[in-house]
Homo-oligomer: A and B are copies of this chain.
Amino acid sequence: MTPPKLLDEAALKARELQIINSAVLLIQKIGIENLTMDKVVAEVPFSKGTVYKHFIGKEDLLLAISNYAIGLLADLFYRAYQFKGCARSRMLLLNFSYLIYAMLYPALFQTVLCAKSPNVVGKSSEKHIKEGERLDVKLMTSINGIVEDALNDGSLVLPLNMDVQQICFSNWSMAYGAISLLSGEVEQCSGRTSLIVERELFNHSNLLHDGMGWQPLTKDSSHCNELKIALDKLFPQELAKIKAKGRELNFDSFSSPA
């Protein structure tokens, strides 16, 4: 039996993270649908009661993993925000960083999808729900930064009756909707649809941004080529990892319909 000792916040957080990491590995091994607390407990050097001190149940653990994943994604978003290039290209790059993350960390991506489900929220602790809300704001920060840059340089003018937050939300919900509905196509083509997630994401981004009047418009620019170059510059290691998993972004599909 591990001797009890006084714990500070950092030690608690480190232990929580250790449990989360073990759970993620387990999800990769057995699939998210077979995850149970007993199985997680078997993977960590802590007792069941200790694990329940961190998470009130499986759904709370899933939410905590989701929060961790959103934190990772926010880092990718930040890198896209910082990239040198016109604002609209950076937003497109940011949208693709979401797809990169989903391809790179399918277990984390799936956990976020699960965590957005009503039955997970209904069985999670206030602590992790609040943390999730803060992370959602963090996720919006880079989107917000790009929109502000675009407003400042004049490439974007706020559409009538819309403010910055709404613009940011429209971009996020567009990417979220497309990638969620095509989640079965993220790791590989399922053969069940002719829709291609990277192509649809590209097209939806362009339609939405054109609808906003965000310069340069699609007809005036080679967004596809720029995106390719930018991705290679910003995420070379991530792209290499994805390639090593047998998946590549299918840029050729962008110029052909389904």
Number of interface residues of A (CB under 8 A): 59
Q: Which of A118, A166, A169, A258 has its CB near the most chain B CB atoms (within 10 A)? A: A118
Give the interface segment out of A14-22, A70-78, A175-183, A230-238: A175-183
Q: Is the CB of B174 within 8 A of A173?
A: yes
Give the interface segment out of A40-48, A109-117, A141-149: A109-117
Count of this chain's copies in the oligomeric assembly: 2
Please indicate the chain B residues that have their CB under 8 angstroms from the CB of A199 in the complex: 166
Give the interface segment out of A3-11, A81-89, A207-215, A239-247: A207-215
Please indicate the chain B residues that have their CB under 8 angstroms from the CB of A133 in the complex: 192
Q: Is the CB of A195 within 8 A of B178?
A: no
- With A123-B33, A183-B118, A257-B161 as given contacts, are A166 and B113 in contact (CB-CB < 8 Å)? no
In the bound assembly, the distance between CA atoms of A203 and B200 in angstroms comes to 20
Q: From residue 123 to 144 of chain A, which have CB atoms closer than 8 A to chain B?
A: 123, 133
In the bound assembly, the distance between CA atoms of A34 and B194 in angstroms comes to 37
In the bound assembly, the distance between CA atoms of A194 and B162 in angstroms comes to 12
- With A162-B203, A211-B206 as given contacts, are A33 and B113 in contact (CB-CB < 8 Å)? no
Which of B170, B175, B204, B211 is close to A210, meaning CB atoms less than 8 Å apart?
B211
Q: From residue 184 to 229 of chain A, which have CB atoms closer than 8 A to chain B?
A: 192, 194-195, 199-200, 203-204, 206-212, 218-219
Please indicate the chain B residues that have their CB under 8 angstroms from the CB of A178 in the complex: 169-170, 173, 177
Contact with B along A98-120 (1 / 0, CB 8 A): 00000000000010011011111
In the bound assembly, the distance between CA atoms of A31 and B117 in angstroms comes to 13
| Chain A residues with a Cβ under 8 A of chain B | 31-35, 59, 110, 113-114, 116-123, 133, 159-163, 165-166, 169-170, 172-178, 180-183, 192, 194-195, 199-200, 203-204, 206-212, 218-219, 254-258
**Interchain residue pairs A-B with the least CB separation, the first 9:** A177-B177, A211-B211, A33-B122, A207-B211, A163-B257, A173-B177, A210-B211, A110-B118, A117-B117
A-B CB contact pairs (8 Å), 19 listed: A31-B122, A33-B118, A33-B121, A33-B122, A110-B118, A116-B180, A165-B195, A166-B203, A169-B178, A169-B181, A169-B200, A170-B204, A173-B178, A173-B180, A174-B174, A175-B177, A180-B180, A207-B208, A210-B210
